[in-house]
Amino acid sequence: MTLPVKFAEDVRALPTHAFGPRSLTWWGVVAFFLIEGTAFALAIGAYFFLEGVEDNWPPDPWLPPGLLWGTLFTVTILASEIPNTIVKRAAQRHDLATARRYMLILLPIFGLLLLFRGLEFTTLNVLWTDNAYGSIIWALLFLHLTHILTDIVDSLVLTALIHTRHGAENRRIVDIAENAMYWRFVWLTWLPIYTLIYWVPRWVA
Amino acid sequence: MTVLTGQDLPRDGEDLQGAALHGRLERTWGDAPGLWGWLTTTDHKRIGKRYVVTAMIFLALGGLLALAMRMQLARPEAGLMTPDRYNQIFTMHGTTMMFLFAVPVMEAFAVYLVPLMIGTRNISFPRLNAFSYYMYLAGGLLLWVAFALNIGPDAGWFAYVPLSGPEFSPGKRTDIWAQMITFTEVAALAVAVELVATILKQRAPGMTLARMPLFVWGVLVTALMVIFSMPSVALASSLLISDRLVGTHFYNQYEHGDPLLWQHLFWFFGHPEVYIIFLPGAGFVSQITETFCRRPVFAYPAMVLALVTIGLLAFGVWVHHMFATGLPRMGYAFYTAATMAVAIPSGVQIFCWIATIWDGRPRFQVPLLYVVAFIITFVIGGLSGVMQASVPIDLQVHDTYFIVAHFHYVLIGGAVFPLLGAITYWFPKFTGRMMGEGLGKVSFWMIFLGFQIAFFPMHLLGMWGMPRRVYTYPAGMGWDEMNLLATIGSFILALGFLLFIADAVKSLYLGRVAEPNPWDAPTLEWATASPPPQYNFAHIPLVTSRVPLWDNRNHLPVVTGLRVDDRELLLTTVMDARPDVREPSALPSIWPLWAALSTTCLFISSIFTPWAIVIGAFPVGAALIAWFWPKSGLSPEPVIE
């Protein structure tokens, strides 16, 4: 027989959702930050490892990547934090209407980002098959492409979802806030990668 | 704005307890009957058991390969197999044991036990848990089906470039190895995320971090190590695949890549991997020692600090696998010191276990026997490890059988012996029946002695110069007797395993029926029935000490008020485990299976064309969207309109 029980405390008055570290979702998202962050950090380590093997970076006669599209991408993704912050704050005060509106505003920004990202690949001035330098430059850009793609698809689905009756659920509002947090991670990881792809070859050379 | 309050919903408590509560919770937490229920379940116990059984099958397969190698090496110049077959076999053996057995079996035990030990109803993200199992299974099948088709990998379990690169390993063998890595890493990382979230947020009220069972501490540290180390091998193998398939040059020295990059990335994962296998083993040892010595583990804070220290040091020693590649002097000194430092927290743990046995009232039943075997074997393996931390010795024994002896002592001693003890110990919880004590002791002695006979001679062989990974050796080298002895030992060991399995199968049907707490153990998993109902606990326990069942012998304090018409979990605060939030747990779903199947198609076809990643992303994305899209009606609890 299992032990007899003694009722000590009742938890029925507890809330059914919470933001930040109080929610399970937040911990899941943070754990994925750690995984992806580690992968990026190691890829950056690999970049410097390969850079250490070369005499010049980029090796002669290759030129550093063109700055235009990467910089436009960077400016746009930084600007996207404005509507993203509005979405996150709206979610936290349960202002569903504002969250819905600004998630729609984010959609064309996502489109623009994907366009710039596509163009970035055309101005790297090196192919992945040329040498190890080309390989790691392409790898970093490709890694980050998968990163933004995942979050954009995730945001699209969530935007659709909160425009249905499910949008009113408390759990969806927590999802909106955590999704906005993930987007911050996406652009934060981009900043070192942008520096490595576009600026380090200029500084080292 | 309408707010529904949900005050009238059924909840456990004074008004709903006993049989009525049981019926209600069974309906809420039960799976669909039959195959559909099997495929859609999100129950951590069903998935955990599945994981354990699958991992044990891979252990048996890996063991058979080991026997094949021992037969080939039993005498000089034997011709049982070709060198190519031998290469495949030692690669398959190492790969299977590390990626398909050791890490998954430890995570599998954690998936089953952690929610029970911390007093919650299910693991966090239970659908991810189901997905993770299917991914693991698919990765294992990929490797073994390939092996059956004679395209098993043959470049060693650590697949060093340039041997594994496109130039020296044409064909698909290495690609299969690298993609198997991707499968098992996805599975392991998913489980690690679930375990961290479960342990930090779902502990029963009152179970502060300082009251957590040591096994749970071990799992927490292990899961964090998985999170920080596995991305490294995933990255390494992705770069290898892209070198092989799309012509990148990460490891190609002719185009300014560097083969040593592979070794750094691989061992940045590979060394922590060893502790990822060992720390849960140490957790088993702590739980078993506590129960069978009838006293809490000696110096709990020191034990926790030792676990955390080992977890941190694990990331600072990978370069000791690369002493033979040539390093700056400072590098040698640093990594030697760091490697030797691991002996300190490991020693602290060993002394604490010995002190627990010394100061307790030990019952030398089968689980505790495995603890003793662990201590002896692991200390021997640890000492040979400290020897190799010294660079001159390492350079001398590098790539010899001394290394083979060393890591089998730490891995089998440090993880497999505790695992066999753990299986015997928790068997009644898993199955509701006890394993046999008599047969258990016979198999214990055969396994313990067989192991020593098989692996101790390898130390000598290594010092006498016998290299690893040779399919045969000439007569007259002075290696014949010790090789024959090792082979005899390996067969005794295998026979012991066979007896162990026979005992388990027999006990499953004929074993003595187990009550909830047959060993008089102190932790929460023993507070519920054996085997536990699907909802784990009728009421969530309230924890007041480190050994709750010893300190509450007459009745167990519990909290009430969770909804019983929905799968509701109690979340508590991270440090103090104060009740904080009630959150629903995911319902059964078929979508994790579809997501795993479509991801499997993507991974396997990407061996043949890189476009598979682009095309395959669509079905994967569709399955994931279907998985996350809410299918139930709106929650009757506060909803904002």
Query: What value does the mean pLDDT of chain A take?
Result: 94
Closest CA to B447 of B471, B419, B480: B419
Contact call for B630 and A169, based on CB within 8 A: yes
- C-alpha span between B205 and B285 (Å, rounded): 26
- Tally A–B CB contacts below 8 A: 218
Which of B200, B257, B573 has its CB closest to that of A132? B257
Cα atoms in the 13 Å half-sphere on the side-chain side of B372 = 18
Residues pairing with B557 in the sheet: A6
Best mutation target among A19, A25, A42, A57 (most B Cβ atoms within 10 Å) is A42
CA distance linking residue B237 with residue A100, whole number of Å = 41
- Across chain B, how many H-helices and E-strands are there? 21, 4
The stretches of B464-530 forming alpha helices (DSSP H) are: 480-510
> In 10 A of CB B203, how many CB atoms?
29
Q: How far is CA B543 from CA A69, B88, B454, B575, in A?
A: 58, 51, 46, 14
DSSP at A161: H
Helix or strand or coil: residue B435?
coil
> Taking CB atoms and an 8 Å cutoff, what residues of chain B touch A12?
11, 13, 560-562
Distance of residue A84 Cα from the nearest chain B Cα, in angstroms: 22
The reported pTM is 0.96
Q: Which residues of A touch B639 (CB under 8 A)?
A: 168-170
Q: Which helix (H) or strand (E) holds B221?
A: helix B214-245
B499: distance to nearest CA of chain A, Å? Answer: 32
Contact B580 A18 (CB under 8 A): yes
Q: Which residues pair with B571 in a beta bridge?
A: B581
Q: Which residue type, as a one-letter code, is found at position B39?
A: L
3-class state of residue B585 by DSSP: coil
Q: Looking at beta carbons, which residues of chain B come within 8 Å of A129?
A: 246-249
Beta strands across the sheet bearing B540-541: A5-10, B556-560, B540-541
Please, are residues B498 and B433 in contact by the beta-carbon 8 Å criterion?
Answer: no
CA-CA distance, B615 to B587, in Å (whole number)? 30
**What percent of chain B is helix, strand and coil (3-state, nearest 5)?**
65, 5, 30
Alpha carbon B29 to its chain centroid, in Å, reads: 27
Neighbour-count burial of B612, counting CB atoms closer than 10 A to its CB (0-12 exposed, 13-18 middle, 19+ buried): middle
Asked if B124's CB is within 8 angstroms of A27's CB, the reply is yes
Evaluate whether B12 touches B540 at the Cβ level (below 8 Å). Answer: no
List chain A residues with CB under 8 Å of B558.
Answer: 5-8
CB B577 within 8 A of CB A24: no
Q: For B432, left (φ over 0), alpha (ψ -120 to 50), or beta?
A: left
**Can you tell me the distance from the alpha carbon of A199 to that of B598, in angstroms, rounded to the nearest whole number?**
39
**Contact flag B197-A4 (C-beta cutoff 8 Å):** no
pLDDT of residue A204: 85
Residue B172 near residue A7, CB atoms below 8 Å: no
Phi then psi for residue B585, to 5 deg, are -105, 145
User: How many other CB atoms are there within 10 angstroms of residue B513's CB atom?
Assistant: 11
Q: Which helix (H) or strand (E) holds B306?
A: helix B300-313
β-partners of residue B584 are B568
- Rounded to 5°, the CA angle B319-B66-B475 comes to 90
Q: Distance between the two ends of chain A, CA-based, in angstroms?
A: 76
Nearest-Cα distance to chain A for B638, in Å, is 8
| Three-state secondary structure call for residue B11 | strand
Residue B569: helix, strand or coil by DSSP?
Answer: strand
Contact B461/B407 with Cβ under 8 angstroms?
A: no
Q: Is the dihedral of CA B85, B86, B87, B91 positive or negative?
A: positive
Among B158, B503, B146, B494, residue whose Cα is nearest residue B318: B158
pLDDT at A1: 56
Cβ–Cβ gap A12/B11 under 8 Å: yes
pLDDT of B321 reads: 92
Residues of chain B with pLDDT under 70: 1-7, 633-641
Do B256 and A21 lie within an 8 Å CB cutoff? no
Q: Which residue of B has its CA nearest to A150?
A: B621
Interhelix angle for B611-628 vs B591-605, to 10°?
170
Interface touch A42/B628, C-beta < 8 Å: no
Question: Confidence class of residue A165 from pLDDT cuts 50, 70 and 90?
Answer: confident
DSSP code at position A94: T
Strand partners, A7: B558
Residue in the block written with tokens 């199955």: B431
pLDDT score for B440: 97
Query: Which residue, among B420, B498, B405, has the nearest Cα to B453 in the 3D structure?
Result: B405
CA distance B464 to chain A (A): 37
Backbone φ, ψ for residue B25 (5° rounding): -70, -35
Over the range B535-571, which residues count as b (16 or more CB within 10 Å of their CB) and which as e? bbbbbbbbbeebbbbbebeeebbbbbbbbbebbbbbb
**What 8-state DSSP symbol labels residue B297?**
P
CB-nearest partner of A131 from B255, B555, B560: B255
- Return the structure tokens found at B218: 């071990």
Per-residue HEC secondary structure of B535-568 comes to CCCCCEECCCCCCHHHHCCCCEEEEECCECCCCE
Mean pLDDT of A166-178: 89
**Which residue among A2, A22, A32 sits closest to B580, beta carbon to beta carbon?**
A22
Q: Do B584 and A39 touch (CB under 8 A)?
A: no
DSSP, residue by residue, B376-389: HHHHHHHHHHHHHH
Q: Taking the alpha carbons of A122, B258, B87, B321 in that order, is the dihedral positive or negative?
A: negative
Question: Which two three-digit tokens encode residue A91?
Answer: 């979610």
Q: Determine, for residues A10 and B559 on separate chains, whether the beta-carbon distance falls below 8 Å.
A: yes
The most distant pair of C-alpha atoms in chain B lies apart, rounded to whole Å, by 90
Q: A44-96 pLDDT, tens per residue? A: 999 999 999 898 999 989 999 999 999 999 999 999 999 999 999 999 999 99
**A10 and B560: CB-CB below 8 Å?**
yes
How many residues does this entry show for chain B?
A: 641
List the single residue in A with minimal CA-CA distance to B533: A2
C-alpha span between B103 and B186 (Å, rounded): 13
